[in-house]
């Protein structure tokens, strides 16, 4: 029997162990996450992608080198996308003079060399390439890309140093028929010819790009953004120092034969000398005798310093088919000959431009506030200068230093102590808006603006962005009874004199009496105004109508022996008055509405004696029966347990006796 009991106990224990053994297995099954296995390994050299519709994913320096190798081996149309910032020379810092610290750098082999122009799309993805290092003074077409006819976008180059021969740019050495969009460079770029912070040379489009690094070209065609532009250069700027040698040195572009629009320069521009400088805050040269070039909506605030001729705040040399419009210069200009606030030399078109900076000519050539010299059929129209000019030469002028007979200078002004017939206007005439109005002339499209009385900060001289300027009549009196004088305003309406205002206090209206607004009355013109300044004219009367009564009727009530009554009356809730008639003609007091009680006593009914029911024999309520049921259940269960224990003990005794 004991053995049988032991077997039963062992069976129960084994069952429990089996159940316990199953429990952790179930938990692991619920918490396990299998690693994803790629369906296809796309390339052993990249972090992902297939190269065309699905660009190669470039996540590190090895990926970028592999991409360059494929292009340089002939796969020029592949596409790539940067997945992270990439440091080509980790731990190394490059200085502007070419020195470096932190190790020995590895030189970069550009993408698109050996005649294999890159023609795909390279997505920078807003990432940066750090530590780009090139130091090959005999090599041409150097940059992250050597030559490209594809699209390069959304990319930055930082902590880098590039020094080569010709066609050198931070992003690309030569941008062919491709595009460079939303890119920037902060590193140093050095070369001989066709040197730029973004592109050394561009035949196509550069948009929304900027350069903050130093750019140096020892010979010519040097620009902060690009050395040369043939097509479109827009929404770009430069803040780095640009230094060039003999010719075509510009803050944004060295030479321009396309369109430069909505660009600006805030960096210093230096022409180191030679027989022919052409140095400008935006462009060194713009257009030529037979090739067009356009500078539009641009400005310069950097210092422009050329040691030879053709030095300008915007352009050094403007060719016959070149034009500069809607642009201005705020940076000082220093030259040796043909020096101007907008352009040093021009045979093209200059319109809607102004200069407010100082112009200095250290030599004996021409110097002008707008243009140093105009040749051929060159024109200057709708321009002004308020900057100072100094020169060792007598060929100096506040507008144009020298000009040929065929040249045209019209509707152009400069600041002078007294007004004169040559375009001199006083500071008051500039500040009042008169010059802005004259510059616009009879044109319907008002180019020149100036904030005068439109609530904006007042401009002291005409600008290209601001309020429209109108010529209006200004009267000394508010009723315009006098003879007006000419004035200028941002509102196309005559200006009246000051009102003679007297204040009238407001009076509140009542139920029956008129009220009045608070207002100011002009004794000269008879007008009424709601404000002390006389700006808000009242076109309605100043009276406020009587409010009228707000009546509530109370019906008559007979008095009783103990309570008063009242007559029928009408009460105004607004003024608090009482009336005896509905027409409200007989005013009475509140006391007059009351009727006294009669004083007669009315016997009251006998009150029944209140008794309380005797509930003394009722059993007290102790609550509901829930607890009784619960206690009964507990007692039954306890009894069952005791009976079970008793039966078990008796069986054990019986078994032992056997």
499-531 confidence digits (pLDDT tens):
888 999 989 889 988 888 899 998 888 889 999
Given a cut of 50, is residue 33 above it in pLDDT? no
CA atoms within 13 A on the CB side of 253: 35
Note whether 245 and 217 are within 8 A (CB): yes
Note whether 229 and 253 are within 8 A (CB): yes
Given a cut of 60, is residue 478 above it in pLDDT? yes
Given a cut of 60, is residue 196 above it in pLDDT? yes
Rounded Cα distance between 288 and 275, Å, is: 19
With bands split at pLDDT 50, 70 and 90, how would you rate the model's confidence at 653?
low
Distances (CA, A) of 349 to 170, 265, 295, 321, 376: 33, 21, 10, 8, 11
End-to-end C-alpha distance for the chain, whole angstroms: 11
Distances (CA, A) of 394 to 31, 278, 338, 389, 402: 92, 22, 13, 12, 10
CA dihedral (573, 575, 579, 581) in degrees, to 10, reads: -70
Give me 614's structure tokens: 């005797």
Residue 458, number of CB atoms within 10 A of its CB: 14
**Given 3-state DSSP classes, what are the helix, strand and coil percentages for the chain, each rounded to the nearest 5?**
15, 35, 50
Rounded Cα distance between 231 and 259, Å, is: 6
Decide: helix, strand or coil at residue 522: strand
Given a cut of 90, is residue 304 above it in pLDDT? yes
Partners of residue 127 on adjacent β-strands: 155
**C-alpha R_g of the chain:** 48
27 versus 398: the higher-pLDDT residue is 398
Give me 244's structure tokens: 């060039």
What does the pLDDT look like over 545-565, one tens digit per residue? Answer: 888 899 999 999 999 999 999
Percent of the chain past pLDDT 90, that is, above it, reads 68
> What is the arithmetic mean of pLDDT over 155-183?
98
326 versus 654: the higher-pLDDT residue is 326
339 versus 3: the higher-pLDDT residue is 339
Element (H, E) at 262: none
Element (H, E) at 579: strand 578-579
Beta strand extents in 59-137 (DSSP E only): 80-82, 86-87, 93-94, 100-101, 121-130, 133-135
Alpha-helical (H) ranges within 345-400 are none
Q: Which residue has the tokens 């009424």?
A: 528
User: What is the predicted pLDDT for the residue at 497?
Assistant: 84
CA-closest candidate to residue 186, choices 105, 106, 129: 129
Q: Of the ranges 33-42, 294-303, 351-360, which one carries the lowest mean pLDDT score?
A: 33-42
Given a cut of 80, is residue 342 above it in pLDDT? yes
Given a cut of 50, is residue 602 above it in pLDDT? no
Note whether 369 and 387 are within 8 A (CB): yes
Given a cut of 50, is residue 22 above it in pLDDT? no
Note whether 284 and 258 are within 8 A (CB): no
With bands split at pLDDT 50, 70 and 90, how would you rate the model's confidence at 567?
very high
User: What is the predicted pLDDT for the residue at 220?
Assistant: 92
User: What is the predicted pLDDT for the residue at 138?
Assistant: 96
Residue 638, number of CB atoms within 10 A of its CB: 10
CA atoms within 13 A on the CB side of 356: 12
Contacts with 278 (C-beta within 8 Å, 6 or more apart), sequence order:
247, 248, 249, 271, 284, 285, 306, 309, 310, 311, 316, 317, 344
Given a cut of 50, is residue 17 above it in pLDDT? no
Could you write out the three-class secondary structure of 180-232? Answer: EEEEEECCEEEEEEEEECCEEEECCEEECCEECCCEEEEEEEEECCEEEECCE
What does the pLDDT look like over 208-245, one tens digit per residue? Answer: 999 999 999 999 999 999 999 999 999 999 999 999 98
Vertex 201: Cα angle to 154 and 236 (nearest 5): 45
Q: Which residue has the tokens 């010719």?
A: 247
Note whether 526 and 490 are within 8 A (CB): no
Name the average pLDDT for the chain: 87
With bands split at pLDDT 50, 70 and 90, how would you rate the model's confidence at 423?
very high
User: What is the predicted pLDDT for the residue at 525?
Assistant: 85
User: What is the predicted pLDDT for the residue at 608?
Assistant: 46
Decide: helix, strand or coil at residue 554: strand
Given a cut of 60, is residue 387 above it in pLDDT? yes
CA atoms within 13 A on the CB side of 595: 13
Cα 130 to chain center, whole Å? 27
With bands split at pLDDT 50, 70 and 90, how would you rate the model's confidence at 629?
low
The phi and psi torsions of 113 (rounded to 5 degrees) equal -95, 180
Given a cut of 70, is residue 470 above it in pLDDT? yes
What does the pLDDT look like over 367-382, one tens digit per residue? Answer: 999 999 999 889 999 9
Given a cut of 70, is residue 600 above it in pLDDT? no
Rounded Cα distance between 150 and 173, Å, is: 13
> What is the arithmetic mean of pLDDT over 187-193?
98
The phi and psi torsions of 412 (rounded to 5 degrees) equal -130, 140
Q: Which strands, in side-by-side order, build the sheet including 145-148? A: 145-148, 172-175, 199-202, 226-229, 253-256, 283-286, 315-318, 343-346, 371-374, 400-403
User: What is the predicted pLDDT for the residue at 1?
Assistant: 44
Give me 66's structure tokens: 């592999």
User: What is the predicted pLDDT for the residue at 621?
Assistant: 47
CA atoms within 13 A on the CB side of 568: 6
Give me 393's structure tokens: 């030469």
Give me 96's structure tokens: 């502007």
Note whether 15 and 9 are within 8 A (CB): no
Note whether 348 and 376 are within 8 A (CB): no
Note whether 509 and 546 are within 8 A (CB): yes
User: What is the predicted pLDDT for the residue at 160?
Assistant: 98
Element (H, E) at 5: helix 2-31
> What is the arithmetic mean of pLDDT over 287-309?
94
Note whether 338 and 309 are within 8 A (CB): yes
User: What is the predicted pLDDT for the residue at 633?
Assistant: 59
User: What is the predicted pLDDT for the residue at 533?
Assistant: 84
236 versus 49: the higher-pLDDT residue is 236
Rounded Cα distance between 228 and 47, Å, is: 36
Contacts with 415 (C-beta within 8 Å, 6 or more apart), sequence order:
385, 386, 398, 424, 425, 426, 427, 430
Judging by beta carbons within 10 Å of its beta carbon (0-12, 13-18, 19+), is residue 509 exposed, middle or buried? middle
What does the pLDDT look like over 111-126, one tens digit per residue? Answer: 999 789 999 999 999 9
Spans of all domains in the chain:
426-497, 498-548, 551-595
Reported residue count of the chain is: 658
Decide: helix, strand or coil at residue 371: strand
Q: Which residue has the tokens 């039966």?
A: 647
With bands split at pLDDT 50, 70 and 90, how would you rate the model's confidence at 618?
very low
Rounded Cα distance between 88 and 131, Å, is: 5
CA-closest candidate to residue 353, choices 289, 267, 439: 439
Given a cut of 80, is residue 446 above it in pLDDT? yes
Given a cut of 60, is residue 617 above it in pLDDT? no
Residue 91's region, left for phi above 0, alpha for psi from -120 to 50, else beta, is left
Rounded Cα distance between 641 and 239, Å, is: 96
Residue 179's region, left for phi above 0, alpha for psi from -120 to 50, else beta, is beta
Given a cut of 80, is residue 27 above it in pLDDT? no
Note whether 166 and 219 are within 8 A (CB): no
């Amino acid at each position: 029997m004991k053995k049988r009991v032991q077997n039963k106990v062992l069976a129960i224990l084994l069952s429990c162990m089996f159940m316990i053994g199953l429990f952790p297995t179930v938990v692991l099954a619920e918490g396990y996450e299998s690693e994803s296995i790629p369906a296809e390994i796309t390339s052993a050299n990249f972090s992902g992608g297939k190269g065309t519709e699905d660009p190669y994913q470039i996540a590190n320096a090895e990926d970028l080198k592999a991409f360059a190798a494929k292009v340089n081996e002939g796969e020029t149309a592949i596409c790539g996308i940067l997945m992270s910032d990439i440091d080509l020379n980790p731990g190394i810092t490059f200085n502007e003079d070419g020195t470096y610290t932190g190790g020995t750098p590895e030189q970069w082999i550009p993408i698109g060399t050996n005649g294999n122009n890159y023609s795909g799309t390279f997505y920078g993805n807003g990432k940066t390439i750090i530590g780009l290092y090139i130091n090959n003074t005999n090599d041409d077409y150097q940059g992250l890309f050597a030559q490209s006819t594809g699209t390069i976008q959304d990319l930055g180059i930082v902590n880098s140093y590039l020094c080569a021969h010709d066609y050198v740019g931070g992003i690309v050495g030569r941008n062919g028929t491709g595009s460079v969009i939303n890119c920037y460079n902060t590193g140093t770029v050095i070369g001989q010819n066709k040197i730029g912070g973004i592109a050394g040379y561009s035949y196509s489009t550069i948009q929304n790009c900027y350069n903050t690094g130093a750019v140096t070209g020892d010979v010519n065609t040097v620009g902060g953004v690009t050395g040369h532009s043939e097509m479109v250069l827009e929404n770009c700027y430069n803040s780095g120092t640009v230094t060039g040698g003999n010719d075509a040195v510009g803050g944004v572009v060295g030479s321009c034969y396309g369109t430069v629009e909505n660009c600006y320069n805030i960096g210093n521009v230096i022409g180191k000398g030679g027989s022919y400088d052409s140095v400008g805050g935006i462009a060194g040269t713009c257009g030529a005798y037979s090739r067009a070039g356009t500078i539009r909506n641009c400005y310069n605030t950097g210092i422009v310093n050329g040691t030879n001729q053709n030095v300008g705040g915007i352009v050094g040399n403007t060719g016959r088919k070149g034009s500069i419009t809607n642009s201005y210069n705020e940076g000082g200009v220093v030259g040796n000959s043909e020096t101007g606030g907008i352009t040093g030399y021009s045979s093209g078109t200059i319109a809607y431009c102004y200069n407010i900076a100082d112009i200095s000519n250290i030599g004996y050539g021409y110097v002008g506030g707008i243009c140093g010299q105009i040749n051929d059929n060159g024109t200057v129209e709708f321009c002004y200068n308020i900057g100072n000019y100094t020169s060792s030469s007598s060929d100096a002028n506040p507008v144009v230093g020298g000009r040929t007979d065929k040249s045209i200078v019209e509707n152009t002004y400069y600041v002078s102590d007294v007004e004169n017939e040559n375009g001199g206007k006083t500071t008051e005439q500039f500040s009042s808006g008169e010059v802005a109005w004259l510059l616009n002339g009879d044109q319907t499209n008002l180019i020149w603006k100036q904030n005068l009385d439109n609530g904006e900060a007042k401009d002291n001289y005409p600008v290209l962005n601001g309020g429209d300027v109108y010529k209006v009549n200004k009267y000394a009196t508010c009723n315009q009874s006098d003879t007006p004088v000419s004035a200028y305003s941002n509102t196309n309406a005559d200006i009246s004199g000051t009102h003679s205002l007297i204040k009238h206090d407001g009076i509140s209206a009542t139920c029956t009496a008129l009220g009045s607004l608070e207002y100011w009355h002009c004794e000269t013109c008879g007008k009424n105004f709601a404000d002390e300044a006389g700006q808000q004219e009242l076109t309605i009367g100043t009276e406020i109508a009587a409010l009228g009564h707000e009546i509530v009727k109370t019906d008559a009530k007979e008095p009783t022996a103990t309570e008063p009554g009242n007559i029928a009356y009408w009460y105004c809730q607004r003024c608090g008055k009482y009336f005896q008639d509905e027409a409200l003609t007989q005013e009475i007091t509140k006391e007059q509405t009351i009727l006294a009680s009669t004083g007669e006593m009315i016997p009251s009914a006998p009150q029944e004696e209140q008794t309380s029911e005797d509930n003394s024999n009722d059993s007290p309520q102790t609550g509901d029966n829930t607890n009784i049921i619960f206690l009964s259940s507990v007692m039954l269960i306890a009894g069952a347990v005791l009976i079970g224990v008793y039966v078990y003990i008796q069986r054990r005794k019986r078994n032992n006796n056997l």
